[in-house]
Structures are given as structure tokens and as C-alpha cells.
Chain A
């Protein structure tokens, strides 16, 4: 932290809209992808000769493929309702981080090349040529959008800046101007199977370690299987769940829930990643290629159901896009939605009275819940609209005695992004991540002061990683963020089975 050259914002008791500070974040841009990270995704290794022409052509192509882009570039009336809704604007004051300011970076080019008014009277309607300078702005500010869609909630036409950021990144990738973090990671999925590049043997090792730890602490033999053909459920979870705190505690929780449900399940080393960064770079083709791995794994392992672990954008791709990208899923059990969220699974068991909890196990904590943006505004859980808010909260209430929500204006569909979504969870964007977390940190700090909240629960791998990293900047502890299924894991009362005793005897004999 000592190396950081920026000032961490002061926390405030309510949302303060800053005065605009043009250029405040113009210096922020992530590392560019080198050739080795561009080519596996099908993009040029470096910026192409006639990049300007190619970019405009690509833009034309996307305008014909995405109604969202077409309509949103036309429809904005500059009413300003979105201007104070983006956490990156609230944290930095840079007007190009106002959603409409961000959109305008593309809109002014669109107007110049694709509208009559912009061709005839560019000055009048604020249309500009796609110059080097504009491209730099694109690279900088389209990588200051976490695609959280908070702006789209308040816009009278639902203009979703995420759609524009995605298109911009796709255009830039197509002319060889890609972002290292996202593109390198997608390459790892193609090569190894997950974002972290953990090979099968490492996964098996980790899972075996987890089995031993859980047995040691509970005396119950909970299994964490991988690549088991014929299991009923395929669990697809973000690879962070195999790797780091607090993610891994969530994975431990999923296993315990499956154990109590008495269902067979398996992970897959081939589809060992729920995340799909293809969405972040706006690439339908790459998103589809990643999603198809899950289909292949489901077929190979002959499973009947697919369940996703805790991850925000992964759940968006799973819930909203998986059927489109990798469906139809007619070979799976039609009694269950495809895919399901682990929270839906756990919640159903709770409803059926199949899980027993000792809530006092979580009595050392006072909990609040962070709605992850992609779950909140781009997907659903359960049968009812808004189930994505109620189901996780119901699970918290079933497993904890002390729970308080943060300020209403900062939760549910008005939730603030953690500041690290959308492919920005990289060290080269640390200033942006810290400043963008401010609105969430404000709200968290307030419930900490007012209600004595000690921990914030999240259901997203990116949120968990981001919070662990930025909370210390705001004087909090990195372990104040928890996985939801960590609470489940703590409180669940496991049923002992006969083979558990036998194993215990074996161990005793060995002593």
C-alpha cells in the first residue's frame, strides 16, 4: 500500500455527489494485452494499420447485431438522471465516469459516422472523428466501467452503459487494442480450464485437503468429488473457490449442503470455471466458447442437473445467457431449471425442512449483505422477480441471529458495485478500484457504526476478492467479507452416517 500515489477518499455518512473534475481519471488505464494474449481469442496481436477504418466498420457491424447499441446510441436525451448513479463517478468526480459521459465517448463517434446530423453539423450535435485521442479516451474510460448496470435502473429508457462498454471493448479488441487482464484470463480458460490456471491435479489435491479438513473439524466424511461420471449434479463454481479465503469456505459449505441433501455431485476439471470473462469484453463468440465447455462437461459426466456456485457475473451468464449460448438442455432432468444457483438449491432444502442449523455458531458475527450487481440487476433466483434479493437473505436469516441490511438506497436493485467487476479486478487499476468502492464502503461503514455490523456477506468471487483487497484502505479488515455458504457451513448440523463412525474407529485404532 505504501507505493500508492492517490488519496483514499474520506468515508461520508450519506452519498455525496461530487463536483465534476474533468480529467481526474484520464491517467487510469489497464495494461494492454500483448500478442500472446490476443491471438488465442482471435484478435490481432497489435494495433492494425488502418485501425480507424476497421473500428468504424466493426461499429457498423455491431450496430446491426445488437439492438441495444443501436437504440441506446440514438435515444439518450441528456436528461442527466444517470449522472450521479455510477460509483466510479461518485468516487472520482471525473465527468467521463458519469454513465452518459461514458456513453457519449462512443455516441459522438457514432453521430459522426452513422447519423445525418453528425455528418452535416458535427459541432452542433457534438460529433467527432475517431482520432487517436478519442481512442485513448475509449481505452481509459471503457475500462472504468464495471458493467454493473446501476445506471440502467434509473434511465427513463433503460439505457445500459454496460452494453456500450462491452461494444467498445469488442471494437478495440478487433483492432488489436485489448486489455491484458481479461484476455490473458480467457486464454487460461481455453488452455487449462479456469481463470486461475489451476490444472486438474492441483484441483484434486485441494479437494482432498478440504475433505480431510472437514472430517477433522466435524467428524463427518463430506465428499468433494471431481470428474465423477454419473453424478447427479454438476457444480460449476468460480475457480477462486478452490484457492483463497473466504471463497474456499463457501465451497466447503456447498459440499456440506449436498451431503445433507444426500445427492451425488461432482466438479469438472474441464469446466472448472463459472466465470465467463467473454462477457466483459463484449465478445459473443468468446463467451459462447467458454460456455460450451460446461455443456461438454455435462455430457461427458452424464449429469442430470447443473448448479452454479457463488459468483455474480457468472450467474448472469448462467441464468440469462447459458440457454442461449450452449442450450438447449433437453438432455438434463426437466424437473429442474437449468442452471440453478446454489442459493436456490440451499433455500429449497431449507423450505423443505431438510437442513438443520445451529445459528449460535455464527453468534460472534453481526452480518450485512452485499447484493452483487450482476445477480441483482441482470438475473433472478427462484420463481418470483426479486427472488435474487430474498433468497440469499432468507439463507442468512436461517443461519444467523444477527442480520441488518445497509441503507435501502444502496441495496437490492440499487446496490452499488464493489468497484472491481467487469474485468477491472487487476492491480494495475488499484486507484480506480479503491475510489469506486467508496459508495459501498460508506454504506457498510454506516451499518458498522449504527448496528455494530462486523461482517459483510457476498455471493460473488469478484466482490469477495475486491473487498478483501480494498477494505484495508478504508481502515477495515480484509477478513470482514464472507461467503454466504460460509455461514451455512458454520451453522449446518451434519448428519453422522455409519461409515463416519467406522472411519473414526479406523483412525482411533491407528493411534
Chain B
């Protein structure tokens, strides 16, 4: 058993490192790459606050997607909102003492899990049913959905059918903070669930999951529409002026 525990301890150190380092690298790369021209998709807000509001609507409501395709929006939003609730629910494993809001949210986290799985199933079915989306799907697009669906289903199975010792899981993760390796319950379903989560963390910075940070750096969405009032110029373009 010690071997498995050690393996998972190492795996999560590694996954956390890759996720954080990879994301940081990408975010820095996005941040330092200049946007030399003003290209907001108009009509666009004319103030910073307006842009913040536009961004909030995109992140919380998927506003553009809503205008673009209702089915994808319904499934996509259900999945993400579910994922969000599930993530909040899982915070109980990582924070001690568990904050009051996180305690409150626990039951909703379960609905979130169900919503997530339904949303993913809907999204995946579109990849088969709609000829245009079938055409643009690579293996990786299918695998990504399979991975998330795998995480969701193993999670729900543990919740409803094959219970595991959640106290021990919490002890395991709390231990990792102090570089102490506490035993992990040797439950095959849990092993699979955690393995898939670690895989997700590792591929995050190398895959299309970069859409999450990417959105915040998208010039068509995050720029203020004020080119006549304020001169906007990138450093490399400035050099042309001499």
C-alpha cells in the first residue's frame, strides 16, 4: 500500500508543479506579448469599467456563445457551472477548518457533479451528431471530454454507490502540505478518479484548456474602444518611428 500512497503523493506534487509552473509561464507569455493595434470587436465599451463588465458577462454567462449557438451554450454552461460548484465542494479537502460557505455549498456540489456530467455528455454528442463539429474535432478533443467525463462519473459513483473514507483522503492531502505522506485509502475507484485529475492538471497548460486564461487576454474582448482619444502603441512599433 505504501507504494501506491507514495506514488500518488509524488504524482500530485508533480501535477501541481506542472499546472502552476505551466500556467504561470503561459500567463507571463500572454502578458508580455504586445497587442500593437486596437482591435476590440465593436460595439465595445469605451471605459475600463465597461470592459470589466463585458468580461464578467463573458466569464459568467458566456454571452458571445449564447448569441452564437444555443445548444452549445446550454451544455457548455451547464458543464462549467457544474464544474465550478464541484470545485468549490472539493475545497473541503484542501482547507482546514472548512469555511462556512464551503460547508453550505456541499449539497449543491453534488448537483453540480450531475450537471457537469450531463453537460459533458451533451457536448460530446454534438461532436458526433453535427457534421461541422465532427469535422473540426481531433482525437484530443474527444479525449478531453472523455477525461472530464471519467472524472465526473468516478466521482459520482463514489458519492452514490461505492463510498470511500473521505476523512482519510483529507488527511492525505493535508499531509502533502507538510511534506508528510499519510496513507491513501486503497480504493480502485478513488485511484482512478485521482489519476484522471492529475492527468487533467498536467495537460492543462499544454492544451486547449488554455482557453480559461486566454479569454482574459483576448484583445477583441479586453480592449477599451478609445483609439481616437488615446494613442496606443506597442514598443516594437515605436521603434519604427525613428
> Measuring CB to CB, which residues of chain A are less than 8 angstroms from any residue of chain B?
17, 19-20, 22, 63-68, 70-72, 74-85, 95, 98, 100-101, 104, 115-117, 123-126, 149, 152-160, 163, 284-285, 288, 319-321, 323-324, 327-328, 337-339, 376-380, 383, 385-386, 388-389, 413
> Measuring CB to CB, which residues of chain B are less than 8 angstroms from any residue of chain A?
26, 29-30, 33-39, 41-46, 58, 62, 64-65, 67-69, 72, 76, 123, 126, 130-133, 135-141, 143, 203, 206-208, 210-211, 214-215, 217-221, 225, 227-234, 236-237, 240
Known: A67-B217, A85-B68, A413-B42. A75 touches B211 (CB 8 A): yes
Q: Chain B contacts of A376 at CB under 8 A? A: 42
CB distance from B46 to the nearest CB of A (A): 6
Q: Chain A contacts of B237 at CB under 8 A? A: 284, 288, 324
Q: Which of A75, A80, A284, A285 has the most CB of B within 10 A?
A: A80
Beta-carbon contact of A76 and B39 below 8 Å:
no
In Å, the complex CA distance between A100 and B143 comes to: 19
CB distance from A345 to the nearest CB of B (A): 14
Beta-carbon contact of B65 and A81 below 8 Å:
yes
Beta-carbon contact of B140 and A125 below 8 Å:
yes
30 contacts between A and B (CB under 8 A): A17-B132, A63-B33, A65-B34, A66-B34, A68-B39, A68-B218, A70-B29, A71-B219, A72-B218, A75-B208, A78-B141, A78-B208, A79-B69, A82-B68, A84-B132, A100-B136, A125-B140, A149-B220, A156-B65, A157-B218, A159-B220, A160-B220, A163-B39, A320-B39, A321-B37, A337-B228, A377-B41, A378-B39, A413-B41, A413-B43
CB distance from B5 to the nearest CB of A (A): 29
Known: A77-B141, A80-B130, A284-B237. 20 other contacts (CB 8 A): A22-B135, A67-B219, A68-B218, A70-B30, A71-B218, A77-B208, A78-B141, A80-B136, A117-B206, A126-B139, A126-B140, A153-B67, A155-B64, A156-B68, A159-B218, A163-B39, A323-B230, A337-B228, A338-B228, A385-B45
Beta-carbon contact of B33 and A81 below 8 Å:
no
Beta-carbon contact of A68 and B219 below 8 Å:
yes
In Å, the complex CA distance between A84 and B71 comes to: 14
> Which of B64, B76, B225 has a CB less than 8 Å from the CB of A158?
B64
In Å, the complex CA distance between A380 and B43 comes to: 7
CB distance from B55 to the nearest CB of A (A): 10
Known: A78-B208, A124-B140, A386-B43. A66 touches B29 (CB 8 A): no
CB distance from A341 to the nearest CB of B (A): 11
Q: Chain A contacts of B220 at CB under 8 A? A: 68, 149, 152, 158-160
Q: Chain A contacts of B58 at CB under 8 A? A: 156
Q: Chain B contacts of A378 at CB under 8 A? A: 39, 41-42
Residue of B nearest to A17 (CB): B132
In Å, the complex CA distance between A72 and B240 comes to: 26
Beta-carbon contact of A77 and B139 below 8 Å:
no
Q: Which of B131, B137, B215, B228 has the most CB of A within 10 A?
A: B228
Q: Chain A contacts of B133 at CB under 8 A? A: 78, 80, 83
Beta-carbon contact of B135 and A75 below 8 Å:
no
In Å, the complex CA distance between A72 and B30 comes to: 11
Q: Chain B contacts of A77 at CB under 8 A? A: 141, 208, 211
In Å, the complex CA distance between A389 and B64 comes to: 19
In Å, the complex CA distance between A163 and B219 comes to: 11
Beta-carbon contact of A380 and B42 below 8 Å:
yes
In Å, the complex CA distance between A155 and B45 comes to: 18
Q: Chain B contacts of A152 at CB under 8 A? A: 41, 220
Beta-carbon contact of B132 and A74 below 8 Å:
no
Beta-carbon contact of A67 and B208 below 8 Å:
no
Q: Which of B123, B131, B214, B234 has the most CB of A within 10 A?
A: B214
Q: Chain B contacts of A149 at CB under 8 A? A: 41, 220
In Å, the complex CA distance between A324 and B37 comes to: 7
Beta-carbon contact of A323 and B69 below 8 Å:
no
Beta-carbon contact of A324 and B38 below 8 Å:
yes
In Å, the complex CA distance between A17 and B26 comes to: 37
In Å, the complex CA distance between A284 and B135 comes to: 34
Residue of A nearest to B135 (CB): A95
Known: A158-B41, A158-B218. A319 touches B72 (CB 8 A): no
Q: Chain B contacts of A98 at CB under 8 A? A: 132, 135-136
In Å, the complex CA distance between A449 and B123 comes to: 39
7 closest residue pairs by CB, A with B = A154-B68, A75-B214, A81-B68, A158-B220, A385-B43, A126-B138, A80-B133
In Å, the complex CA distance between A344 and B143 comes to: 52
Q: Chain A contacts of B45 at CB under 8 A? A: 385
CB distance from A97 to the nearest CB of B (A): 11
Q: Chain A contacts of B206 at CB under 8 A? A: 115-117
Beta-carbon contact of A385 and B227 below 8 Å:
no
Beta-carbon contact of B132 and A95 below 8 Å:
yes
In Å, the complex CA distance between A19 and B232 comes to: 43
Q: Chain A contacts of B208 at CB under 8 A? A: 74-78
Q: Chain B contacts of A85 at CB under 8 A? A: 68
In Å, the complex CA distance between A193 and B221 comes to: 35
> Which of B221, B228, B236 has a CB less than 8 Å from the CB of A319?
B228
Beta-carbon contact of A154 and B64 below 8 Å:
yes
In Å, the complex CA distance between A414 and B99 comes to: 46
CB distance from A108 to the nearest CB of B (A): 9
Beta-carbon contact of B42 and A388 below 8 Å:
yes
In Å, the complex CA distance between A284 and B39 comes to: 14
Q: Which of B30, B38, B64, B220 has the most CB of A within 10 A?
A: B220
Q: Chain B contacts of A328 at CB under 8 A? A: 231
In Å, the complex CA distance between A96 and B198 comes to: 35
Q: Chain B contacts of A153 at CB under 8 A? A: 41, 64, 67-68
Residue of B nearest to A409 (CB): B67
Beta-carbon contact of A385 and B39 below 8 Å:
no
In Å, the complex CA distance between A339 and B67 comes to: 32
Residue of A nearest to B70 (CB): A81
Beta-carbon contact of A284 and B36 below 8 Å:
yes
In Å, the complex CA distance between A386 and B219 comes to: 19
Q: Which of B33, B132, B135, B140 has the most CB of A within 10 A?
A: B132
